[in-house]
Structure 1
Amino acid sequence: MPIGNLTSQIFSNIYMNEFDQFIKHKLKIKHYARYTDDFIIISADKEYLKNLIPLIQNFLRTELHLELHPKKVHVTRHNRGIDFLGYVILPEHIELRTKTKRKIPKKIKKAVSLYKNGKINELALHSSLQSYLGVLSHSNAYKLSQEIQNKFWFWLKE
């Protein structure tokens, strides 16, 4: 089932609830956030974070039959930014991940193409545009948001 599907997100939250309880009640982690299968843990103690990794790996493997992706586990200083859910969260502001900046205009242009070919209706096109503009609104991407809105009308007229 695609992870973007609303029911997938609901099932993920139900399935991962055990993990949330483990993090909160067994490990007593205070600074934790999760969306579907992505999560972050924040602490000033680097060794503490390193020591959590095998505990989390073991729980996920034995209880939920899941594995941590080895390339996606990072212990880093927060001032370098936390890469999470398409954003880079820095102490003073939130930036859109470079890959996300490239993807959003392409996805909107594809939605316009689907609309022009009769594959989606006007409401679906409008919802798609508003959804992506909402993603941009949570970061310092005002300029990109304006560019996309201007291009949107151009793409519709092409």
Structure 2
Amino acid sequence: TILFNDPLQDAVFNCPRSAWQGLPSSKSLFHQPKGVGIAIGNLTSQLISNIYLDQLDRFVTIEHGFKHYGRYVDDFYLVSTDKRRLIEMTSIIEDYTNNHLALKLHPHKRHLQECQRGVAFLGAVVYPHRLQPGKRLKRNLLASLSREDCSAETQASYRGLVKHYKHKKLLDSIDVGEKSGGGYN
């Protein structure tokens, strides 16, 4: 029954409808034909996308031999030392997703750059030999921890995330705030 659940039926809204102004209709299930799209953010959508996009994973890694490829749900990256190959793969992947998966790649969400600058992916920046939290994550972390009412759970959550990145400076700022009873300034 989870797979056939209609997310629009009995939907719970946590903000006023006015907060939705400016949201592209393509980002809302309310503007899609019946039977098109799935609700994002739940485990079902993640599972379905992993099953569906497994074909893309195999296409990129097996058929085209990319070793440095990563994907989570609908975000992915490719790393290669051959710039021409990356440019060529862009159109090959676009053709594959259009013709085999009935999906379109967003034309403005493609970035070709040197790997020394890192790859922005899922709120992190992936470098050849390290992983760093992205700017937005750092900004949100420091803003959250600077509030007087920052909970121990929030601090613990951020500590776990920052430990994953092995980011000593941010980890130290969390530890200093805990010792002073919160309120990071």
Equivalent pair of 1:96/1:140 in contact (CA under 8 Å): no
Task: Within 5 Å, give how 1:7-86 maps onto structure 2.
Answer: 7-86=44-123
Q: CA deviation at 1:61?
A: 1.7
State the AA in 1 paired with 2:161. V
Task: Within 5 Å, give how 1:92-111 maps onto structure 2.
Answer: 92-106=129-143
User: Are 1:137 and 2:175 counterparts?
Assistant: no
User: Are 1:89 and 2:126 counterparts?
Assistant: yes
Relative to the length of structure 1, the TM-score reads: 0.72
Give RMSD over aligned pairs.
2.7
Cα separation, 1, equivalents of 2:53 and 2:129: 30
Gaps of 5+ in 1: 116-124
Change in Cα spacing, 1:7 to 1:146, as seen in structure 2 (3 Å) is farther
Higher relative contact order (CA 8 A, sep 6+): 1
Equivalent pair of 1:88/1:96 in contact (CA under 8 Å): yes
Gaps of 5+ in 2: 1-38
Residue matched to 1:118: none
Question: Secondary structure of the equivalent of 2:112?
Answer: coil
State the AA in 2 paired with 1:26. E
Identity %: 33
Q: CA deviation at 1:51?
A: 0.3
Change in Cα spacing, 1:109 to 1:9, as seen in structure 2 (3 Å) is farther
State the AA in 2 paired with 1:141. H
Relative to the length of structure 2, the TM-score reads: 0.63
Number of residues of Structure 1 aligned to a counterpart in Structure 2: 142
- Per residue, is there more helix in 1 or in 2? 1
Structure ID, larger Rg: 2
